[in-house]
Amino acid sequence: MDRVGFDKFKHKIKNFNFKGDNTMILKEDKFIQFNEQIKQQGGCKKVSFEEGEQIAAELLQELTKSKTGVGIAAPQIGYDAQVMVVNVKKPMVFINPTILSLDDEIIYKEACLSFPNKHINTHRYKWVNIKADNFQDHYSCGGSMVFGPTNEHMEEDGQDPDGLLEGVCIQHEFDHLQGITMYDRRYIVPQVKSEKTYGRNEKVILIKGDESKTIKYKKAEPYLNDGWVIQ
């Protein structure tokens, strides 16, 4: 769908009433509680096209309040609905989306609006093939679309960071619709135990996942029993 067509859609959704100026995003404990309900019921409920547009309008409004956010899903503002929006290269709306395939697994560092100031490495894929009920009306696409790095947007170093970010963001927001968070996709660094011997007062570096700390070896045993390893 071209830019003119999308501008018409944006004009249309501005007719809906938004709920004030403060953020509606559920965070930390409140979000975890609602997210667990979504997970227990097997994912968000499907919605009508009209209801999906209205929720998408609220999502886009919330996303504009964030300086760094590039995507948001309905459960993050308290809706049990299969609706999400992504805004990396341009604003995209997904109503009742379905991922058809994922290709080329990668490790990606990501964050989430519902977990402020938290960054973790996750298992993701370079390319995602997805369809949604609104693709035909909003983007003149009756089938599915593939998101990820493309030759068309490659930079001088041969990378397309925005294309990669867009594909990962779609996976991230789709997960929210299933009751899955980035912590469920966490990449754990393979742990290899060291055979070296250490003095009791010798300082060692312990790692667990993407966390690390430096302590004296004599205090390391509780951490080692809890899954930490010496670097």
Sequential DSSP letters for 28-68: HHHHHHHHHHHHHTTSPPP--HHHHHHHHHHHHHHHHT-SS
Residue 46 corresponds to which tokens in the numbers above? Answer: 């499907």
Greatest Cα pair distance in the chain: 70
CA distance 170 to 172: 5
Residues 6 or more apart whose CB falls under 8 angstroms from that of 193 comprise: 229, 230
Residue 60 corresponds to which tokens in the numbers above? Answer: 């886009």
Of the candidates 75, 184, 44, which has an alpha carbon nearest to the alpha carbon of residue 124? 184
Of the candidates 61, 77, 73, 64, which has an alpha carbon nearest to the alpha carbon of residue 26? 77
Residue 51 annotated in active site = no
Helices (DSSP H) in 49-205: which residue ranges? Answer: 49-64, 135-139, 161-177
CA distance 127 to 163: 9
Select which of 28, 155, 173, 221 is catalytic.
173
CA distance 126 to 195: 37
Give the residue numbers annotated as catalytic, written as ranges. Answer: 173
